[in-house]
Amino acid sequence: MKVLIVGSGGREHAIAWKTAQSPKVEKLYCAPGNGGIEEYAECVPIGAMEFEKLAAFAKEKEIDLTVVGMDDPLVGGIVDVFEREGLRVFGPRRNAAILEGSKAFSKDLMKKYGIPTAAYENFDDPKKALAYLEHADFPIVLKADGLALGKGVLICNTLEEAKEGVKTIMEDKQFGSAGNRMVIEEFMTGREVSVLSFVDGKTIKCMTSAQDHKRALDGDQGLNTGGMGTFSPSPFYTKEVDAFCQEHIYQATVDAMAAEGRRFQGVIFFGLMLTEKGPKVLEFNARFGDPEAQVVLPRMKNDIVEVFEACVDGTLDQIDLEFEDNAAVCVVLASGGYPVAYEKGYPIHGLENFKGKEGYYVFHAGTKLVDGQFVTNGGRVLGVTATGEDLKTARANAYEAVKLIDFEKAYCRSDIGKAIDEI
């Protein structure tokens, strides 16, 4: 088979690496890809939002399956364009990707179908939002409705902060048109868990759990980022939690989407919070997590191409997902200054240490090959994943591995997976 992957980050590197393992794949392309992905795939310089060009490329090269890794093209309707052209594609159509593309939609869906989530109200008028806040309890959570690079969520401790937040989202439009509508939501506390799942429209099969670290600095300080590191599995995702989510959340979400005429095919990412009153949904994403994919996929035993095809063909009920009985930790190496201002173009040293080193993976997020030398080319540069027989071993291995890599102004959090010490 010929497979095309759409995207350019660490997640797409992990997907490309896993896809390349499949004996079914004879040729792999990635658009636009990155320096690291070139090891497994021929990278083609077409942007992820250039749907018509991508579809033309897929036709010309007789691509058998396209896998879309990123949220923007999915929410923008890339799958509809490919299907219109008769091309096989893994990922939700535009009318289903709205599960991630509109937080107001997903909140209304959960309310309508009784899926546990925080209490909320939706607003498209900032004056009404301000009036509502006058009688609200604090802290409170404000969310821009649309895609905002994971940054459109503001946790406000006081009425003053919340009023400022409404201005930021709805009037100053700091997150662009994502802030045309807004969700105001009850503040919840508890541990967060990410559960990614494969969905074929009717059947859902969950992958092993993971946990992300979204803040830039140790101790969950600093600004929100795309994710500074992950571990898998989450020891807090117990059998009881899983049983509850299976009964009240996972299948219920797939069935709700089907009932709304929005059949979902692809990956649903459940962002869960384990509250005192039980697990609740924080958010849905319509694709693999980044950097969740970098710890989940190295533990997956299945041929991922078979799973992708089962989702597209509606035969996922015939697949048993299997994961290694081990653990994985991913530490993101970022450029100093990320997520605000950072420099690019520094040579990356030490990557050769990982050639043939089993149980270690260096997934490139923002790198470029210049004259045979990898240089930094983004805020998050690399995700260094290590496996181990348990979480503590995997974490020790990941931090040992990080020491082997060096570039100017590199930084990483030193406490990825620290929560596991509490159990």
What stretches of 135-274 show up as alpha helix (H) in DSSP?
Answer: 159-166, 239-245, 251-259
Answer for the pair 313, 265: CB distance below 8 angstroms, yes or no: no
72 interacts with ligand AMP by CB under 6 A: no
Among 145, 185, 200, 292, binds ligand GLY (CB under 6 A): 292
290 interacts with ligand GLY by CB under 6 A: yes
Q: Token pair of 63, please?
A: 């691509």
Answer for the pair 141, 152: CB distance below 8 angstroms, yes or no: no
Q: Token pair of 192, please?
A: 């967060």
100 interacts with ligand GLY by CB under 6 A: no
Interacting partner of 187 out of ligand GLY, ligand AMP, none (Cβ under 5 to 8 A depending on kind): ligand AMP
Taking the complex as a whole, the smallest distance from the CB of residue 208 to ligand GLY amounts, in Å, to 15
Taking the least distance from each CB to ligand AMP, the nearer of 274 and 365 is 274
Q: Which positions from 148 through 177 interact with ligand AMP, judged by CB under 6 A? A: 150, 153, 155
Please report the DSSP string for 312-370 in residue order.
HHT-GGG----B-SSEEEEEEEEETTTTT------B-B-GGGGTT-TTEEEEESSEEEE
192 interacts with ligand AMP by CB under 6 A: yes
Q: Which positions from 236 through 275 interact with ligand AMP, judged by CB under 6 A? A: 271
Among 61, 94, 214, 368, binds ligand AMP (CB under 6 A): 214
Q: Which positions from 207 through 246 interact with ligand GLY, judged by CB under 6 A? A: 212, 227
Size of the site for ligand GLY (CB under 6 A): 7
Secondary structure percentages of the chain, helix, strand, coil, to 5: 35, 30, 35
Q: Token pair of 399, please?
A: 């931090």
Answer for the pair 384, 331: CB distance below 8 angstroms, yes or no: yes
The helix (H) or strand (E) run that includes residue 14 is helix 10-20
188 interacts with ligand AMP by CB under 6 A: yes
Interacting partner of 141 out of ligand AMP, ligand GLY, none (Cβ under 5 to 8 A depending on kind): ligand AMP
417 interacts with ligand GLY by CB under 6 A: no
Taking the least distance from each CB to ligand AMP, the nearer of 82 and 231 is 231
138 interacts with ligand AMP by CB under 6 A: no
278 interacts with ligand GLY by CB under 6 A: no
Answer for the pair 364, 35: CB distance below 8 angstroms, yes or no: yes
141 interacts with ligand AMP by CB under 6 A: yes
- Taking residue 320's Cβ as centre, other Cβ atoms within 10 Å add up to 7
Q: Given the rule CB under 6 A, which residues bind ligand GLY?
A: 150, 212, 227, 285, 289-290, 292
